[in-house]
């Protein structure tokens, strides 16, 4: 059960070397994460209403091959860990059959406006656990 997000590389995302600038991959991951939750029927305001406001605490990026202007990228999103207050999403950026990059992001749920960590709300937790288990079995 993997979620995918499509993106075409734009001219302003490419740097002087003609390849997508590394910081732009974090825009891609952010957009893919939003659509991942949206796919479950949770928009950002709905996540906030449920008590889920994820703050990024760690990001690991690995680059295998560059993306270039006009490339049609597909980002795969999976959940690889769910703790009490934190969760880890794993993004793989592909162009056709080629793995170009992967991004592993650790989020801690915070109380909006306060910034203190808070347990991940039960309905969101259940959904993420189901994905993480499925992911564990299939890998």
Binding-site ranges for a second copy (CB under 8 A): 8, 10-12, 14-18, 21-27, 30-31, 34, 43-45, 53, 55-63, 66, 69-70, 115
Cβ nearer to a second copy, comparing 42 with 131:
42
CA distance 119 to 125: 9
Cβ nearer to a second copy, comparing 15 with 126:
15
Residue 111: CB minimum distance to a second copy, A: 12
DSSP structural state of residue 40: T
CA distance 100 to 25: 11
Residue 89: CB minimum distance to a second copy, A: 13
Residue 122: CB minimum distance to a second copy, A: 23
CA distance 109 to 120: 6
DSSP structural state of residue 22: H
Cβ nearer to a second copy, comparing 21 with 134:
21
Partnered with residue 91 across adjacent β-strands are 77, 103
Do residues 98 and 40 touch, judged by C-beta distance below 8 A?
Answer: no
Cβ nearer to a second copy, comparing 12 with 96:
12
Tokens of 131: 């994905």
Residue 137: CB minimum distance to a second copy, A: 28
SS3 state of residue 16: coil
């Amino acid at each position: 059960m993997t979620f995918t997000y499509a993106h075409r590389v734009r001219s302003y995302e490419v740097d002087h070397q003609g390849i997508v600038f590394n910081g732009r991959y974090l825009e891609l991951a952010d957009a893919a994460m939003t659509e991942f939750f949206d796919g479950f029927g949770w928009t950002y305001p709905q996540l906030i209403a449920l008590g889920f406001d994820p703050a990024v605490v760690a990001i690991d990026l690995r680059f295998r091959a560059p993306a270039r202007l006009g490339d049609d990228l597909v980002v795969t999103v999976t959940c690889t860990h769910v703790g009490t207050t934190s969760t880890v999403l794993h993004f793989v950026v592909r162009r056709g059959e080629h793995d170009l990059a992967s991004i592993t992001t650790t989020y801690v749920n915070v109380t909006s406006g306060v910034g203190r960590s808070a347990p991940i709300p039960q309905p969101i937790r259940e959904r993420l656990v189901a994905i993480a288990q499925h992911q564990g079995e299939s890998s």
